[in-house]
């Protein structure tokens, strides 16, 4: 069995060196919520050293809120801000002799794209404009996945080991109590359930089936490295190979 582990990196959390050997896909901040050209290049080179798939991690232009505040932008504005970020990462990869493997939106852009087909379509259109071969990482069962499929882009369904789920298969909003899973043991239990059984226990206690091709670790979390090490160990014990899609 194979499963991708993706991680949001290049965000200045200080964990990149420790996390990169433990993952298979890196989502690199493109400068709008975190990072800059220098950190993007450093993270690309770090990913190359560890043979990790390189992804762009575009966001709203909102550094003050780390890209986690919802914004009310039109489709053309979203297209422009995503295209600019993905194109920048694409160009840096080419300059380094690497190729851009995927795109995963960040924070509020990710969540609004998952819930709103218009926003999702604008994100997908921008990615396709840069390259129709780029993969889209998006929340399992969301509009990001369906709109990518409609546009002919390869979609990778994502689930989270450190976030709780609602009965409809969506993530519990960060603003609500119990949105985050703080226990490493509980997070590993959820990750193994997702990888082995393609199901997750909701915050209400019921089991929901999810298509899962990649599991996310948040690189800015206080326990990110410990989580990644525990997940790698858990996967080895269950003969699950950590490997990027494609």
How far is Cα 16 from Cα 29, in angstroms, rounded to an integer? 12
Q: What's the DSSP call for residue 203? A: T
Q: Is the model's pLDDT at 116 over the cut of 90?
A: yes
What is the count of structural domains for the chain?
Answer: 1
Domain encompassing residue 113: 2-242
Give helix 143-151 / helix 117-130 axis angle, nearest 10°.
50
List Cβ neighbours of 92 (8 Å cut-off, separation of 6 or more). Answer: 37, 40, 41, 44
| Cα 79-245-122 angle, rounded to 5 deg | 10
Residue 209 pLDDT: 96
Chain segment 14-34, per-residue pLDDT in tens: 999 999 999 999 999 999 999
Q: Is the model's pLDDT at 102 over the cut of 90?
A: yes
pLDDT over 90, % of the chain: 96
**136 pLDDT band (50/70/90 cuts)?**
very high
**119 pLDDT band (50/70/90 cuts)?**
very high
Q: Is the model's pLDDT at 53 over the cut of 90?
A: yes
Domain at 77, CATH number:
3.20.20.370
Residue 6 pairs with which residues in a beta bridge?
25, 216
């Amino acid at each position: 069995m194979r499963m991708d582990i993706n991680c949001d990196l290049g965000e200045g959390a200080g964990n990149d060196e420790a996390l990169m050997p433990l993952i298979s896909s890196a989502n690199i901040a493109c400068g709008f919520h975190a990072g800059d050209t220098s950190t993007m290049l450093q993270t690309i080179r770090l990913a190359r050293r560890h043979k990790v798939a390189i992804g762009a991690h575009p966001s709203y232009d909102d550094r003050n809120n780390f890209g986690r505040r919802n914004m009310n932008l039109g489709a053309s504005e979203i297209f422009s801000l995503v295209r600019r970020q993905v194109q920048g990462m694409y160009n840096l990869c080419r300059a380094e002799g690497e190729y851009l493997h995927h795109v995963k939106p960040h924070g509020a852009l990710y969540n609004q794209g998952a819930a709103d087909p218009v926003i999702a379509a604008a994100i997908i259109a921008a990615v396709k404009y840069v390259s129709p071969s780029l993969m889209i990482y998006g929340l399992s069962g969301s509009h990001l996945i369906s709109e990518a499929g409609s546009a002919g882009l390869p979609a990778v369904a994502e689930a989270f080991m450190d976030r709780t789920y609602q009965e409809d298969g969506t993530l519990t909003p960060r603003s609500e109590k119990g949105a985050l899973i703080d226990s490493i043991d509980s997070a590993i239990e959820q990750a193994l359930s997702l990888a082995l059984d393609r199901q997750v226990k909701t915050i209400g206690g019921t089991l929901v089936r999810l298509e899962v091709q990649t599991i996310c670790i948040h690189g800015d979390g206080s326990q990110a490295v410990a989580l990644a090490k525990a997940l790698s160990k858990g996967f080895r014990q269950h003969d699950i190979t950590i490997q990027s899609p494609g």
